[in-house]
Chains A and B, each alone.
Chain A
């Protein structure tokens, strides 16, 4: 077990480095110039432009720039934004609470809904409940989030006038009034994400439980005369939920990137919105930092998922397939 984890940790670092090289190369090889906007500004002469370029280190060859970037990224220094002249880390830290609030609550809600619904619909297979739940789930993950979001706005903001359709991030929660406002403006983005998350997860829970229900050990448990509830709780769910826990961990980074769309629809100024703004402004350091954070999240949660799987399921054997 320990050996396996060490092995995985050792593959973790090269993966992150490789991904950062890929992103850096894309940015460096792309046509277009991050300093392009200065070229249009008559008050900045070519000489000054050259100096700015030097101050950002853009006159050096690609690999030197990469190594420099990487060394400072490791030390937690992500450089300065080209457009707002503030440290990238500050920009990101400003945006993180909003994203975490929206994404986090959607994620927790999704898991809380999906697991019981999935279990029920598997146990009552082909019943009315099952049919309804599976249909809703199918609709849920066939609806693209941007369409669900716009539908929600049309129904709840435009037609009914219940909820505001633009997210106000400067709102400070100080009293009940403002807390209510905060909840009101978060309802729609959270619901959109929850719907998708529940749909994806529920499908998986259902199929896992269904698979375990047919196992020999379940039949044995019933044959021993155990009551149905005990069989389901101790024998079916314990086994079925192992891969579910893994998937929940594996999915956390996905929901961060998925939130990109939701943030765009509701104008939520989270980290995804920052990425889109920076891409549109050619703000290389910010794009680089956010993309790498996403990549690190993906790799870290992959690792966590594997470790969880190993912890929860003693049958799992580590076979080093790469040897």
Chain B
């Protein structure tokens, strides 16, 4: 491994940086975040999407699976604002419902990735030595795995087994979340580890140790809060990453079953009707794009806001 310059270890936000006349690090970050137009745009768009997905199905009550061949593939109209699909089902209703699943997959997969990453990174960075070597070798190994092929393979091979165990919908949800999360924790683990390596040598940690703090206490209350800001950024970006991955799986026909219309699944169904019903692809595709774009803007805004070197 190379020893790169310290500023690349990404743990710069820790040292008490209180700008003249400003409040805490959090307040300062919020101040900077608010002034970032793109981040604000992202927040607003994401809020609108999340709210409409949460509340929408209660207001817009057209059933998602009502088949009506007389209305097959109709373009947007007053009755069906986003048009209908090849089976005459209402696309807006399906998107509102599917959005819940797409976003839930993103959030839960992020949680799996972050928790795994923090756990492995913290242990490796805190204890060092042989444990660190083993864990980091393992991380390197996982980074070298061809991720997309493996995802496709695992889901194809195990989906029937898990469906039989916990049921169709929940089964595939759990499988997708675990696998996307389980193949995305490596970057977080590295960030956390390099943070721990720097912070654990600082005086306040030595002081806490001298006062008799247990390893758990040192890890969770003293060191972790000081290395968390790059992890926050990584967490945000991994939500959008997971949403794209889930859509990709669905796009290969390996995601959720057809009666659960996630956005990627709708694209998969719509790709055969590009000639006479392009709206079947355009609306769900735009939904994925806008969600991912706004999350990426928020992640970028967070990165700038939490980085004290940029002021």
Contact = CB atoms under 8 A, between A and B. Distances in A.
Contacts of A290: 149
Contacts of B252: 264, 276
A163 B206 CA distance: 67
A306 B282 CA distance: 42
Contacts of A142: 240, 289, 292-293, 296
A257 B144 contact: no
Nearest to A264: B252
Nearest to A18: B141
Given A144-B289, A276-B152, A264 B296 contact: no
Given A32-B157, A280-B156, A146 B267 contact: yes
Given A142-B289, A150-B274, A257-B149, A306 B248 contact: no
A27 B289 CA distance: 34
Contact of B282 (A18, A30, A32, A154): A154
Contact of B251 (A257, A261, A306): A261
Given A147-B289, A150-B267, A279-B153, A257 B148 contact: yes
B271 A265 contact: yes
B2 interface: yes
A146 B274 CA distance: 13
B144 A143 contact: no
A26 B240 contact: no
B279 to A, nearest CB: 10
Contacts of B297: 138
Interface residue SS majority, chain A: helix
Interface in A272-315: 275-276, 279-280, 287, 290-291, 294-295, 298-299, 302, 306, 309-310
A41 interface: no
A146 B263 CA distance: 12
Contact of A146 (B149, B248, B300): B248
Contacts of A32: 157, 160
B275 interface: yes
Nearest to A147: B285
B17 interface: no
Contacts of B244: 144
A10 to B, nearest CB: 13
B249 to A, nearest CB: 10
B140 A257 contact: no
A38 interface: no
B150 interface: yes
B150 A144 contact: no
A294 B292 contact: no
A321 B133 CA distance: 8
B288 A144 contact: yes
Interface in B1-35: 1-4
Contact of A26 (B140, B157, B296): B157
Contact of B149 (A15, A144, A158, A294): A294
A253 B267 CA distance: 26
Contacts of A213: none
A260 B248 CA distance: 10
A146 B251 CA distance: 8
Contacts of A322: 1, 133, 136-137
A258 B152 CA distance: 13
A318 B288 contact: no
A319 interface: yes
A171 interface: no
15 contacts: A15-B140, A26-B157, A141-B296, A142-B240, A146-B264, A154-B281, A264-B251, A279-B153, A294-B146, A302-B144, A306-B2, A316-B2, A316-B4, A317-B3, A318-B1
Given A15-B144, A322-B1, A322-B133, 11 more contacts: A22-B145, A27-B157, A30-B158, A30-B161, A150-B267, A264-B251, A290-B149, A291-B146, A298-B146, A317-B3, A318-B2
5 smallest A-B Cβ distances: which pairs?
A30-B157, A294-B146, A142-B293, A147-B285, A31-B161
